[in-house]
Amino acid sequence: MKEIKKITQGRIARQYKLLKLGLGAGRNLLQSSGQELTDKFKDAINTEVHKIVNDLGLMKGSVMKVGQMLSLYSDSILPPEVKEVLKELEGKSFYLNWQEIQKNIPASTKEHIDITHTPIAAASLGQVHKGTIRESGEKVAIKIQYNGVKKAIANDIKTLKLILKLAKVLPKGKKLDPFFTEIKKMLEQETDYVKERTNHQLFADLLKDDKSYYVPKIYEDYCDEKVIVSEFIDAPHLRELSNSNLSLEDRNKLGLHFFDLFMREIFKWGVIQTDPNPANYLIRKHKGEYQWVLLDFGATKEIPDSVQDNYHRLIFAVINQKMDEFVELLFELKYLQKDSSFNKELFQEYLSTVSEPFSGGVYNWGESDIPERMLKLAPKVVKELTIDQPPQDIVFIDRKIGGIFFVLKELKCEFDPNLITDNYQDLNPANDE
């Protein structure tokens, strides 16, 4: 991690920095066009990777977050130069020094909690410090939001869109506004720490009797609009946990539970935590059994009944490999235009890729190359879709499903997912509890 003293703030400063970044000091921009401009953009990136990463690190906020989201798709839609930047950005985290960040913590919280000055994690919108409550000795995690990131969202997104368009980084001829609108909405939500705590508590309530999962307790008295204090859980992330520590049986159980959680979210509760980043989960042994510790409810989305119903039909058409039904649904849901010709083979490929684990019997998730194949296919599929009046949720559901595949792969578990999906053939199994 790299310490920084200040985040670039102010509308003009951020816009300027972004433009400079994207266009290699913006030289000759107006005289350039087409391929020439794209080449310039690439050259600028190539010569300045480290500088760009550094500047993005200083900007934090939307720019970094969108960068991280794009990097998911970087293999397929972004030029290798941009990918280079995003890869380096991912590997580095910048954190704001204590003197600055502590200003955002309420005085009474600082009074009652001893806080370690170096953070345990730093992300795009905030950073997390470890602390101890003086009176009780309880260990806590304190998530602190950066100043100004909320205010900067709208403008950052606007500038980012402009740059990506100018640089012709985005696929041609697509109306991307709905996607940017959706990303903007999500960023606004992720900076709403009050809402995050409500969603955190919602999941805690929903899962309170289920020992396969644990949601850390929130210390509401120490929180405010920019600070969330939760019970610190001393457990590793999946990445830090060597698979050899877990028996195949443990891994299979964890995998099943991970998959089942998604099914419950989408089909039972209609509430989805849409950020499947593996850093949002810890694994701990509790009373002899492994359980998932769920962190970070910033990107939790409620889906309306109608959307839930549509996804049910769509996902089961995929699971049961019903190509005709799948395509029919894509038309009905206006993902595709009725009169448009579309790439049937591509959708067939997508369907057979995603449905592979459901072909029957135990599936070896560790050996699966579906995540990579899906990431290659997804942008092509997105290009085919009519996204003028779309269910934009697809961006997030797609990301979530991709994320689940990644986690199961990393877990190297083996199980038949039909064992779980069979329980959700009927929508809303909520009432049989």
Ligand X SMILES: Nc1ncnc2c1ncn2[C@@H]1O[C@H](COP(=O)(O)OP(=O)(O)O)[C@@H](O)[C@H]1O
Interface residue list for ligand X (CB under 6 A):
120-121, 123, 125-126, 128, 141, 143, 216, 230-233, 279-280, 295-296, 298
How far apart are alpha carbons 167 and 305 in whole angstroms?
40
Compare residues 121 and 170 and give the one whose CB is closer to ligand X.
Answer: 121
- At residue 420's C-alpha, the angle toward residues 414 and 424, to 5°, is 160
Contact 178, 226 (CB under 8 A): no
**Among the residue ranges 133-141, 143-151, 186-194, 294-302, the one whose residues contact Mg ion (CB under 5 A):** 294-302
Task: Please pick, from the candidates 38, 68, 155, 280, the single residue that binds Mg ion as defined by CB under 5 A.
Answer: 280
Stretch that binds Mg ion, among 65-73, 228-236, 239-247, 293-301 (CB under 5 A): 293-301
CB proximity list for 252: less than 8 A, separation 6 or greater: 413, 414, 415
Smallest distance from the beta carbon of 232 to ligand X, in angstroms? 4
Is residue 5 packed enough to be buried (19+ CB in 10 Å), middle (13-18) or exposed (0-12)?
exposed
d(CA 138, CA 409): 35
Q: How far is the CB of 125 from ligand X (least distance, A)?
A: 6
- State yes or no: residue 196 binds Mg ion (CB under 5 A): no
Rounded-to-5 percentages of helix, strand, coil across the chain: 55, 15, 30
Among 156, 190, 265, 296, binds Mg ion (CB under 5 A): 296
Which ranges constitute the DSSP H helices of 116-239? 149-166, 177-190, 193-206
Partner from Mg ion, ligand X, none contacting 128, C-beta within 5 to 8 A by type = ligand X
- Least distance between ligand X and beta carbon 128 (Å): 4
CB of 105 to ligand X, least distance (A): 15
Separation between Cα atoms, residue 267 and residue 280, nearest integer Å: 21
- Select the span of 46-54, 273-281, 365-373, 375-383 touching Mg ion (CB under 5 A): 273-281
How far apart, in whole angstroms, are the C-alpha atoms of residue 404 and residue 401?
5
Closest by CA position to 353, among listed 401, 389, 397? 401
Neighbour tally for 173: CB within 10 Å: 6
Beta strands in 339-382 (DSSP E): 363-364
Our CB check for ligand X shows the closer of 199 and 230 to be: 230
141 touches which of ligand X, Mg ion, none (CB within 5 to 8 A by kind)? ligand X
Q: Name residue 97's amino acid.
A: N
Which one, 271 or 351, has the nearer CB to ligand X? 271
**Residue 258 or 350: which CB sits closer to Mg ion?**
258
190 touching Mg ion, by CB under 5 A: no
CB of 409 to ligand X, least distance (A): 19
- Specify the residue, 71 or 386, whose C-beta has the smaller distance to ligand X: 71
Residue 230 partner contact from Mg ion, ligand X, none using kind-dependent CB cut-offs of 5 to 8 Å: ligand X
> Would you say 123 or 336 has its CB closer to ligand X?
123
Closest distance of CB 374 from ligand X, Å: 23
- In angstroms, give the least distance from the CB of 279 to Mg ion: 5
Indicate the residue whose CB is closest to Mg ion: 296
Distance from C-alpha of 390 to C-alpha of 143, rounded to nearest angstrom: 34
Using CB distances below 5 to 8 A depending on partner kind, what does residue 263 bind out of Mg ion, ligand X, none?
none
Q: CB nearer to Mg ion: give 253 or 399.
A: 399
- Are 239 and 278 a contacting pair, CB within 8 Å? yes
Closest CA to 180 of 70, 280, 326: 70
CA separation for the pair 77, 429 (Å, rounded): 39
Q: Which residues bind Mg ion (CB under 5 A)?
A: 280, 296
